[in-house]
Every structure is written in C-alpha cells, then in structure tokens.
C-alpha cells in the first residue's frame, strides 16, 4: 500500500522526475519476471516503492549505488513455513532469512496456537512487526489436530474470525483435517466459509490424498497443496486448479521429485516453500535461495526458478505489489554476485540495504513482551518412577512404535519385551526404549507411555516440549531416572531441548516462549544446538539422523502408523487408542 | 462463493459420490487451462459448481447429457466493456452475450454515471442481477471527464466509497484522466487509495501514453491497460507489471496488432475485451468468441486463446472460482461444435443450459424499475434558428472539426466558410455542416456550436443523446430547421437516435433509460437500428462509415484534436476552449 495521499503523490512525482528519488541502484541487469527476460537498467526507489526501471540513466537520487552490471532479482517469497520450527521468534527469524534474500514469508503459527491459542497468534503478529522482513500469517485451521490428546488450546471459527481483518492475515492455513472436510464437519466448514467470505485464501495439506479426495478439497474451496511428493501428484493438483508449493525443508525434500512436473505452460501455478526447516540448515544452506540453486542445477532456466520464487508466490497469496521489479512494486530486491550459483551479495528491503554478504547490516531488536500464558506455558508434574511404569504380564508381546530415521511416519511392530516385576524395562540390546508424553498445558497430569525402537540410544534420556502438534513434553529414555531428570529440566527451563545422562544435564536449550522458541540471540542459539548435538553423540556415538526431529513427531496422531499422545498409544490406521499389551489388543488388531 | 454451510456440505458430499449430482455432461473433451491440455472426462455439477472432472465415468446425476466427445471450455470473460454502448440494459445485454459463450463481463457503467451518477450505477447493479450472466462492475473513475462541459453528475471518492463493498464491484474503472494522476490531483488519488485499501483492482487507460507516463500510472497502482494499439506498447505494459487487455470492439480493433506481443512466457498477463461493441455486431459476429476465432485464425494455439479468454481474465480480476474447469469452480462452460472455428453449440451457466445454437433457451425478464432521474433524463430547450446561429464576419476563416470516419480523433482544420447575413451557413458542396451540443441534464440551456466536415451529409439532420462522455444532445445538420426538429424528437423520446429530413422523423430509436438504453425487446431494437441505417442512407446514399458512432465521439474533449462540448469549441491539444473565428484565435493557435 502506498500509504497516504502525500506518499502516493510523492511517488508519482518522483516517477515523473519532478523530484529526486531516495535511492538508485544503477547499472543493473534487472529480472523481468513477467516475460522472463533481462533488462539493463537503473532501479529507482522512492518511499519504499520502485518508481522506475529506467534504461535511460536519467534519474537522480539522494543516494545511489552501482550494481556493476550484476543481476538483480525480486526479493524471494516463502509460500508456507512454520516459523516456530526454527525455534526463533518471527523477529529473530527475519534476521536469518533476509541475508539469504527471503524478504517475505507466509507463516502458519500452528505450533504456538496449539500451546496458547489466539494469544499465541497475536504474539506472532506483534513480534513480526519488528522485522524488516514481511511476515504474513495464515490462521491455523486444525487446533487441536485431533481429539485424542490434550493441546493447550482449541480454535473454532469464532475464535479466528476477528483475526481475519488483520492486515497481515492472508487466510486459513493448511487444512490438515481432511476427514473433517470430506465428511462435511460443520466446525471445519465454518472456518472455510468464513475465510472465503472475507475474500481470503485457504491452504491445503494434501499429504497422500488421492485424486478423489483432492477433488473434495477443491469442492470445499481449498486452493494450494505443499505436500506433493511425486510429479504425478503435482500434475494432478495443477489440473484440479490448485497452486503447488514445491517444498524443500529439513524433513521433507520434494524439489527434485516435483521439478519434472513443471512445464512452460503450467509453471505459473508453482511456487516454493520450506514448510519446516531447522535453524542450523537455514543458516548454512539457506531457504528459498537454496530451492532456486537446486532448481537451476537440475536444469531449470534461472529466470523460471526466480519467477516461481517471486511473482508466482505473490500471485498465489494475492500480494499484488510484491514479486516483481517494476514501478508500483515494493522495492524488495537482491543483488547477485552470480546468477546460476544464486550468490546473494546484498538484500534491499523497501529500497534499503538490510543485508550484505550473508549478514544483517543491523540486527533487529527482537524482545517482544509475552503474556503470562506464553512465557509460563510449561506445567509439568514432578514425576516418580511409578508414574512411568508400564505394567505388562510376563511373556507379553507389546505394540511398539518403530521409528524410521528422519521420517515422521512410524511402523507398528509387535515384539516380546523384557518384563521385570510385572513391568516393562528398557533393553538397549533389543533397542526397546521407553517413551512418555506428558501433558504440560493445564496441569492435567495425563501421561501417555509407550515402547519405541529404532533410536539406538544406549544411555541417558532426551526430552523436549516440541512435540507435534499439541507440544506436550515428550521424553525418550534408556532408564526412568534420567527420564525424570529430563522432564524436570524442561519444567525448570519452561520448555526446550535437553540431554540427560546419569542424572546430569549434559546440554540444553531453553525455549521459554511457549516452550517452542528461544529468547537468546541467534549465535547463542546456534551454539546451544551444537552443544546438544555433541551431547547426544556422547550417549549415542553412532547417531546418523536427526534424533530430536524424529522424536518430536512421535506424538502426532495424524501421521501413520503408531503414535503416542498424553492420553496413550494411538493407532493412526484405525484412528483409535490401543493398549501396549498386544495380546489384549489382538481383536482390535484384526 | 459456495454459499451456506449446507450447500458447501452437499457439494463436498457429491464430490465424494455420497449423493447424486445435479447434472453430468458426459463424454466431453475438457479444456485444462492450467496446463493447456485436453482431458476426456465427464463434467459433474452440483449446486452450480463443478464437483468433479471425472475420467472414470463413475458419477451419477439426476440429469445428464452426452457431449459426444466434443470440446468443452470454460465460459468466456470480457475483461472490460461499457454495456451502455450496446444500447441495452445489462439484463438484456446478457441475453445477447450468453449465446456467444460469454458468461461473465466486467463492465464500467461510465456512460450512465455521467448522466445519473450513483443512481445510474445502482440501476446497472440492480438490473444486472436479473441476468444469468455474471456482470461485475468497475466504478467510473472520471465523471465528468473534464470540467469543460456539463455532465449529469460528478462522482468524487466519497460518492463511490459506499459502492466498494457491493459484492459485484471489483474496483475502479479505467482511469482516463491521466493528467490528474500524473499531477497528483488529490481527488483522483483519493479514489485510487480508497480502492487499494479495499483490496480491489484499478483499471488503466493508457491510450497513447509513453513509457514514462505508464510508469507514473504504475507508481499510482494502476494495474491494467486496454488501450494498446501496437505490440511494442503491449510489451512495455507487460514489462511494467500491467495486465494487457487485447481489445477487439466496434471502433477499436487491436487484436491483430497485439498478438505478436504474446509469448509462451508472458501469455498469462494477456486477456481479451471488447470495450465498446455495437448491438448489431455483437449479434452478428459475437464478442470474446470472435476474439478467440480471430486469434486461432492468426495462428494462436486454440487452448492458449481460450486461456486468455478465461483463466487469465479471472485471475486479473480476482475471480478465483471462475475461468477454469475443475472441482470448486463455477459450472460455467461451453460445448463446442468445432474447436478451431469456435462454434458454440450450447452454453451452461452454473451448470444449467441457458443457450443453444446461438439463442437463449429462456429470455430474461428485463424490466427493472428506473428512478425518475433515469427515466426522465432529457431536459432540452425548445430551439429557435437564433439559438443555432454562428455569427462570423464576412470572409472569416473558421476553426473546423474534420472527422476521420470510424475514428474518435478529429483533425483541426482552418477554412473559409460561407457567410450570409453575418452568420455561418451550411454548405454541402464544401462539406461544411453545423454541429450543436446542447446540455440536457439540468436545463442549463447551454449550447455549443461548431462547424464540422467529413460527414458528407447532403440533406436533413441526425441527432442523439449518446454523446461521450457527458451525453448531452448532439445534432448534426445540413439546415437549422431539421436540426431543431431532430432535437425536439430527442426530447419527445426522452433520448435516443433520430434521422430527420424536411422536418419529418424518418427513423428513430428511443433510448428512454438515461437517454442511453432502450426498453424494447432485442429484436425490436435490432429492427429499429436497421431502419435508422436505411434512413441515413436515404439522406446520404454514399455513406460508408458508422455515422452515429463517429458523431457520438465529437463531444469527447479528451481525445484530439478539436471537439465540441455544450460550453463551446475545445482544442484538446492546448486543452482550452477556442472560438470558431480562426482570425481572433490566431494568437492562441501559435
């Protein structure tokens, strides 16, 4: 928005060369993402907007810079992320993304909403205002994700309605609860209708959905999918009228599988996203810039990849003044040192250089006041060994979650387990460890217990309050004492990540903002993550996957096959709780 | 909008085959305008929406039809028209367009707004509701077009503001007053800002504007241009971030000149429009269907032309449920007898067949109540010969409007004229006729007089209340008596078109709705136009251009070079009134 009449008047006057501009980036090779061509021109900026792409070199400005003939492209847009996955607040997150050239993100504050509801969303919106990056919000559509667990909040249509008019809110976030959509659940349909009536967008979540189910999604008005994992799925979504967000994050890496679906005719319906990407990987390899690099390396025309990352994303989310370099667009652009390698030399936001050579020029002030509910969100009981006991008859076979390293799905396996004094005990040789999910929002003291294999942990325990989607505490242990100590550490830190061995905290990162996000500066957070990494390796020297990531999805009861919530073991295939004793469940199994 | 929760629930249920559909068009060759491919499938409809494009032939419906393998494409969209140019009301207009496959139009009720202001716009909105065609409205931005004439109304930002929330209003119509934009006129900027703040669209009018001026337009947030006449202009608009509407109407035919600008990379930024197209031509050759035929004939891939006419237009105007055939889109589609010739066999609107073989199945009831201001809009004085006298000294040279047949521009020429008794007299040998523009809105009795050449009329007079943009009465005559009779006829009919000879009305068409639109049924209107055509030829046997069209633009003081308003002769080049006597104006001329 060009703001006031006075600003608009000035912008027009500068465009007509009646007043000097604020800034000119001269002698640039400017991306035209409308026609996929390059133009040699000066980029002229006034009041944060581009007022001319001028090939006559005739404008004057208060400040200028010579691009030396280098490539300049629009600021990149991430179409779908969960900022909380970075463990950073939105304002801190901006300082990580901007140096990589991402000037706009569309975030779904689904994690904090599960902890703190509307208060959590409001915190994200408020904190986002501090960042020079543009942070738009889609309202979480599925909080809690199921009724088979205790989350911190429940969001109905009437809770979300007042937020729809917020200028940073673009619509309804990934509608994960597809059974609710396809069965015509009124609560879900109310959210969809309310969003349509506001003229806003609805994101989908078509993970594994068949053509027929996507049809139901589309009939319901859902417009995007970022869960395609094959080119055929992507082609189907495009044909059915969806935008496809090509995801390249930490856990899910779909870019190489989806690129073959992009043709010159349908390219305008594709964009990029990261969905979930961890801090260390964001810092090291980047975000949407990384997706562009991979696409170019895979053979895509650089301008085509840039169009996906800019204009297409802007159009998908109705951001009519973003995603291109032309008069009237916001002056968000990147100066590149190298096109094919997509090396970002400098990042301009609203015409001001905010980052250079991978670093912010000025760090953003990131301290935003939190409400009590957000800064004191962890309410764990003091555990005893008895609380963690899994009684089982001698010789029992148990329903066990078998993890697949770095994946969010599990296998359900049935195995004999070691029983002592009528209860399960961890057995590291068999790799049968104990898992507990403990309600932490409302002091309900509900504890779900289960047996897990595949982690290969040999000693100690690890715990975190990042446990999708309800974000209760989840703790994995080779012995109960270390598990109890780890949970106590989470309580003391008000959430976070912790590694415990022999009752001692070996490393930790406090996440006192809703038990999800850190308050410490970026460098300190990165160092803490490195310490955690090291500590885990001391108790699991052969670890070759992301243990905390894999752990944090074991509580998500919408992803197959066997998961654990604070209300117990959950069979996602039959969508019901089951017991650990496989014998008593044999009927249910068949 | 899928309306209520109950409707949405039903649509989803039908999409999942839990309930029978309303209608299935089986065995169709369905256009996929997202990927530009064809698919063999059934089109399944519920409650006006497509719920499936089904290739498995497994759906059931209450009613069905076999397409016999014929092509089916989305309903066509005209991105910019002035319905009043057809002399039909919106509801009657729909019945002309629907048989040609146009299911949605975006109209600028600029003409009636100049006569009756907000009341006029409201009449159009209200009458539009009767049509099965979707008629969206852009709010006229420039009423009156200049301050050098008397229009029926003046529309400021505060007059338009309440209309922005009307569900059929998509934004601000063609911003013609580019000097107001580029000079930062606050009234104009208020209209622009108000529209942006409502999240709506702003159409441009870049006729003859240079790259630098378009830059100012863009800086002001203007998003489209339908006035390109060369491929280079079109390329410039695309690069500057505008959508380009390729116009093919009655007066302006730009399609062949613009097609070379369309490439596979930039095609998604082009759409079609007619702008102004006359009733007889709409009936005979069609509208956007005609543009598709011409494009295919010129070598464009049929699916590409169809994409311009459907998806691109829908995206340009934010109509997210239109322009494509997929679940969740409105069930507007055309069954074709022939693809390349684009022969429309049947037209379905919201899943119901409304037209077949070029005719409506049921005529729309078109009588909408008019306010007094609209049905009694003509207030002309009773003229005398004295009122029409143009006093000139003997031997004077006169500033004369020279028309260019079928064009809206004129030349300014200076010639000697015949003077009798100190006043100009028409001379048919020299082709120097008299033109008068007479205020008709507020009984101001202002009369602008001028001399015109190029019409070649030999006897009689012609007059109309269609006189852009203020729509005062305009009368052209070979003698004053016939001119007076013609003006009297306009008063008696409450506006319209009339041909007079020897004091007798030879033919006429009453346009009693704001002096612009007829109340009679389509067939009767077409017959009256044929009678007028014949009558003109009896007083001008060699006529080979559209006399009324050319006449109706002689009063438009924003189009070069010399025009006539009710306040006098107007030099568009210097943007000021001038006298008829060229001698007294010599200083101003140089």
For residue A327, give the nearest of B197, B199, B219 by CB distance. B219
Chain B, nearest residue to A303 by Cα = B265
- For the cut 90, the answer to whether the pLDDT of residue B478 exceeds it is yes
CA nearest neighbour of B34 among A262, A452, A414, A315? A262
Q: How do strand A76-81 and strand A102-107 relate by DSSP bridges? A: parallel
What is chain A's mean pLDDT, rounded?
A: 95
Interface test with A, best of B241, B270, B320 (most A CBs within 10 A): B241
pLDDT of residue B60: 97
Split at pLDDT 50, 70, 90, the class of B585 is low
Distance in Å, alpha carbon of B364 to nearest chain A alpha carbon: 29
Q: Where are the alpha helices (DSSP H) in B26-167?
A: 90-97, 110-128, 157-160
* Average pLDDT for A556-583: 93
Give CA–CA dist A239/B352, Å, rounded: 23
- For the cut 50, the answer to whether the pLDDT of residue A16 exceeds it is yes
The single-letter DSSP state of residue B308 is I
Rounded to 5°, angle at Cα A122 from A116 and A124? 90
Cβ distance of A39 and B239 shorter than 8 Å: yes
Chain B, nearest residue to A322 by Cα = B241
Match 């955690």 to its residue by tokens.
A532
pLDDT digits (tens, 9 = 90+) for B389-411: 999 999 999 999 999 987 888 99
Q: Which chain A residues touch B37 with a CB distance below 8 Å? A: 265
Q: What are phi and psi of A123, to 5 degrees?
A: -60, -45
Q: Are A81 and A273 within 8 A, CB to CB? A: yes
Give CA–CA dist A315/B536, Å, rounded: 51
Percent over 70 (pLDDT), chain B: 99
CA nearest neighbour of B518 among B80, B82, B93? B93
- For the cut 60, the answer to whether the pLDDT of residue A461 exceeds it is yes
Cβ distance of A15 and B266 shorter than 8 Å: no
And the tokens for A491? 């309580």
Q: How do strand B37-46 and strand B21-32 relate by DSSP bridges? A: antiparallel
For residue B263, give the nearest of A17, A35, A39 by CB distance. A35
Split at pLDDT 50, 70, 90, the class of B2 is low
Distance in Å, alpha carbon of A56 to nearest chain B alpha carbon: 11
Give CA–CA dist B206/A548, Å, rounded: 58
The full DSSP string for B417-472 is --EETTEE--BTTTTBEEEEEE--SS----EEEEEEES----SSEEEES--TTTT-
* Average pLDDT for B474-480: 98
For residue B327, give the nearest of A32, A52, A218 by CB distance. A218
For residue B184, give the nearest of A9, A37, A327 by CB distance. A9
Distance in Å, alpha carbon of A73 to nearest chain B alpha carbon: 14
Cβ distance of A264 and B265 shorter than 8 Å: yes
Q: Which chain A residues touch B265 with a CB distance below 8 Å? A: 35-37, 264
pLDDT of residue B590: 36
Give CA–CA dist A339/A38, Å, rounded: 12
Chain A, nearest residue to B190 by Cα = A5
pTM score of the predicted model: 0.94
For residue A12, give the nearest of B4, B182, B235 by CB distance. B182
- For the cut 90, the answer to whether the pLDDT of residue A586 exceeds it is no
- For the cut 80, the answer to whether the pLDDT of residue A142 exceeds it is yes
User: Does the ipTM surpass 0.95?
Assistant: no
**Cβ neighbours around A361 below 10 Å, total:** 14
- For the cut 50, the answer to whether the pLDDT of residue A418 exceeds it is yes
Distance in Å, alpha carbon of A53 to nearest chain B alpha carbon: 8
For residue A219, give the nearest of B51, B196, B219 by CB distance. B51
Q: Are B499 and B475 within 8 A, CB to CB? A: no
pLDDT of residue B558: 83
Split at pLDDT 50, 70, 90, the class of A558 is confident
Distance in Å, alpha carbon of A437 to nearest chain B alpha carbon: 36
* Average pLDDT for B583-589: 58
Distance in Å, alpha carbon of B265 to nearest chain A alpha carbon: 5
Cα dist. B555→B423, B436, B438 in Å? 23, 9, 10
Taking one residue from A and the other from B, the number of pairs with CB-CB distance under 8 angstroms is 179
Cα dist. A398→A58, A313, A446, A475 in Å? 78, 48, 21, 19
B124: Cβ contacts below 8 Å, ≥ 6 apart: B83, B90, B107, B109, B112, B135, B137
B253: Cβ contacts below 8 Å, ≥ 6 apart: B247
- For the cut 80, the answer to whether the pLDDT of residue B119 exceeds it is yes
A78: part of which helix (H) or strand (E)?
A: strand A76-81
Cα of first residue to Cα of last residue in chain A, in angstroms, is: 60
b/e sequence A496-516, b meaning 16+ C-beta within 10 Å: bbbbbbeeebbbbbbbbbbbb
């Amino acid at each position: 928005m060009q703001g006031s009449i006075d600003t608009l008047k000035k912008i027009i006057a500068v465009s007509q060369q009646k007043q000097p501009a604020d800034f000119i980036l001269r002698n640039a090779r400017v991306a035209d993402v409308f026609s996929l061509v390059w133009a040699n021109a000066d980029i002229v900026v006034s009041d944060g907007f581009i007022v001319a792409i001028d090939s006559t070199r005739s404008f004057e400005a208060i400040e200028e810079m010579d691009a030396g003939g280098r490539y300049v492209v629009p600021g990149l847009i991430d179409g779908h992320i969960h900022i909380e996955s970075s463990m950073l607040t939105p304002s801190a997150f901006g300082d990580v993304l901007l140096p990589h050239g991402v000037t706009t993100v569309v975030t779904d504050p689904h994690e904090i909403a599960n902890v703190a509801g509307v208060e959590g969303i409001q915190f994200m919106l408020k904190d986002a205002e501090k960042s020079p990056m543009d942070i738009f919000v889609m309202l979480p559509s599925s909080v809690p994700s199921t009724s088979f667990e205790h989350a911190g909040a429940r969001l109905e249509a009437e809770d979300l309605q007042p937020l729809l008019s917020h200028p940073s809110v673009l619509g309804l976030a990934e509608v994960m609860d597809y059974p609710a959509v396809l069965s015509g659940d009124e609560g879900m349909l109310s959210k969809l209708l309310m969003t349509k009536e506001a003229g806003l967008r609805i994101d989908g979540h078509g993970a594994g959905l068949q053509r027929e189910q996507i049809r139901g999604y589309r009939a319901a008005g859902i417009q995007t999918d970022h869960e395609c994992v094959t080119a055929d799925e992507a082609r189907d979504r495009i044909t059915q009228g969806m935008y496809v967000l090509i995801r390249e994050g930490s856990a899910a890496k779909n870019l190489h599988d989806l690129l073959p679906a992009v043709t010159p005719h349908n390219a305008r319906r594709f964009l990029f996203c990261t969905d979930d990407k961890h801090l260390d990987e964001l810092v090291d390899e980047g975000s949407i810039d990384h997706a562009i690099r991979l696409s170019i390396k895979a053979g895509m025309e650089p301008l085509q990849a840039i169009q996906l990352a800019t204009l297409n994303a802007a159009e998908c989310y109705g951001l009519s003044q973003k995603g291109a370099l032309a008069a009237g667009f916001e002056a968000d652009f990147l100066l590149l040192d190298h096109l094919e390698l997509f090396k970002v030399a400098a990042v301009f936001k609203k015409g001001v250089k905010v980052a250079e050579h991978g670093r912010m020029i000025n760090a953003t002030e990131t301290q935003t006041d939190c409400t009590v509910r957000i800064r004191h969100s962890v309410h764990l009981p003091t555990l005893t060994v008895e609380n963690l006991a899994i009684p089982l008859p001698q010789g029992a076979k148990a329903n066990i979650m078998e993890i697949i390293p770095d994946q969010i799905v599990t296998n359900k396996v049935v195995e004999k387990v070691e029983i002592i004094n009528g209860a399960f005990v961890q057995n590291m040789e068999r790799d049968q460890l104990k898992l507990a999910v403990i309600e932490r929002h409302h002091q309900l003291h509900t504890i779900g217990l289960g047996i897990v294999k595949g982690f290969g942990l040999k000693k100690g325990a690890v715990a975190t309050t990042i446990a999708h989607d309800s974000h209760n505490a989840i703790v994995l242990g080779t012995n109960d004492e270390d598990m109890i100590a780890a949970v106590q550490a989470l309580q003391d830190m008000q959430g976070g990540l912790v590694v415990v061995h022999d009752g001692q905290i070996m490393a930790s990162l406090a996440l006192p903002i809703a038990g999800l996000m850190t308050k410490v500066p970026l460098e300190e957070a990165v160092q803490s993550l490195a310490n955690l990494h090291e500590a885990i390796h001391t108790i699991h020297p052969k670890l070759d996957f992301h243990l905390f990531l894999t752990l944090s999805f074991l509580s998500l009861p919408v992803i197959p096959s066997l998961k654990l919530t604070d209300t117990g073991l959950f069979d996602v295939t039959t969508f019901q709780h089951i017991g650990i004793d496989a014998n008593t469940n044999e009927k249910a199994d068949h």
